[in-house]
Amino acid sequence: MNEKIKVIQYGVGAIGSSMVRLLHRKPNVQVVGAIDYGKAKIGRDLGDVAGLGRPLGITVKFPPENVLDDVKAGIALQATTAFMDEAFPQIMKLINREIIVIAIVQVLFFPLGGNMEKAKKIDKKAKEMGVSITAVAINPGFIMDIVPILCSLPC
């Protein structure tokens, strides 16, 4: 019998809600917790907040320890912010709990400048804890800038 992949949704805004709706359609995935700091979301059912049209029996909680201390999950989907300075402590908290992180932090995709040091710390800690982190977001400006440049190279 295959055990379901247990997931924590960290951030239930527009992107996080879309993630929850997608995960809900996957039979081998079970969302076991939800974290969000929005006062209008805390205490509500995740299914309601994510727009599923039905309750899931999972309460959106804050601070994160209210979820992380109560549930066991192998993966967390971080969708609170795309900015490294805000996401860094969230990601480190998850890694310290030995949770794999899939993050929308676009600068983790290709860190430069001041983000490089935090990306190295995340990488080092993830390796120490035996987990991985994956960045899945790319700033729309990147796509809208680089694609026209690449397409115009032959010209």
Nearest alpha carbon to residue 46 among 21, 75, 81 = 21
Full residue range of the structural domain in which residue 98 is found: 5-152
Domain count, the chain: 1
The full length of the chain comes to 155
Q: Cβ of 11: how many Cβ atoms within 10 Å?
A: 25
**pLDDT score at 139:** 60
What's the DSSP call for residue 74? S
**pLDDT score at 64:** 98
**pLDDT score at 96:** 98
Nearest alpha carbon to residue 46 among 36, 79, 69, 74 = 36
Spell 34-54 as b/e; 16+ CB within 10 A means b.
Answer: bbbeeeebbebbbbebbeeee
CATH number at 68 reads 3.40.50.720
Q: Cβ of 30: how many Cβ atoms within 10 Å?
A: 16
d(CA 35, CA 80): 9
Q: Express each pLDDT in 29-45 by its tens digit.
A: 999 999 999 999 999 99
What is the SS3 assignment for 100?
A: strand
Q: Quote the pTM value.
A: 0.88
Contacts of 6 (CB under 8 A, 6+ apart): 30, 32, 71, 72, 73, 74, 75
Query: How confident is the chain (155 residues) per 10-residue block, as mean pLDDT?
Result: 91 96 96 98 98 97 98 97 94 98 89 91 98 81 65 74
The backbone region for 67, taken as left when phi is positive above 0, alpha when psi lies in -120 to 50, beta otherwise, is alpha
